[in-house]
């Protein structure tokens, strides 16, 4: 990632190509894995914003083949997050590059507090992420 992208906090993880792959209703995010191609393989990720969400989310298909969800906001400078390719870590997109494990714990960088994480349930090709 280029220096200007890091200074401005521009992350690599995109919004889903199919905006209809997820919805937020009654305090839960539901993602249809059949429509979320970005999550089809380990290492894939999407970020979700808008549609009434109370906060930005990052959802990652971990290298261990499990799914993880995080508040997409670094605890250091509130920048968005990206998964680290081939690793079980998340990194802030800013120049400080705070790094967290999938439990949200700080591994390195300027962040002092852990990330907020959300449990992810799987049910018949759907992910369900309760936010309340």
| pLDDT for residue 95 | 73
Sequential DSSP letters for 8-54: HT--SPPPPSSGGGEEEETTEEEEETTT-GGGSSTT-EEEE--TT-S
| pLDDT for residue 77 | 85
Confidence of residue 34 (pLDDT cuts 50, 70, 90): very high
**pLDDT cut 70: percent of the chain above it:** 93
The pTM (predicted TM-score) of the whole model is 0.92
Q: Which CATH number fits domain 3-130: 2.102.10.10, 3.40.50.300, 3.60.60.10, 3.30.70.100?
A: 2.102.10.10
Q: Is the pLDDT of residue 126 over 60?
A: yes
Q: Is the pLDDT of residue 8 over 90?
A: no
């Amino acid at each position: 990632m280029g220096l200007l992208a890091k200074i401005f906090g521009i992350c690599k993880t995109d919004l889903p190509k199919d905006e209809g792959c997820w919805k937020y209703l009654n305090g839960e995010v539901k993602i249809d894995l059949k429509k979320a191609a970005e999550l089809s393989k380990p290492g894939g990720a999407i970020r979700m914003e808008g549609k009434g969400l109370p906060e930005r989310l990052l959802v990652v298909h971990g290298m261990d083949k499990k799914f993880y969800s995080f508040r997409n906001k670094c605890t250091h400078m509130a920048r968005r997050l990206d998964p680290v390719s081939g690793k079980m870590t998340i990194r802030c997109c800013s120049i400080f590059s705070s790094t967290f494990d999938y439990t949200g714990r700080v591994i390195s960088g300027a962040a002092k507090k852990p990330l907020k994480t959300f449990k992810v349930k799987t049910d018949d090709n759907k992910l369900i992420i309760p936010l309340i």
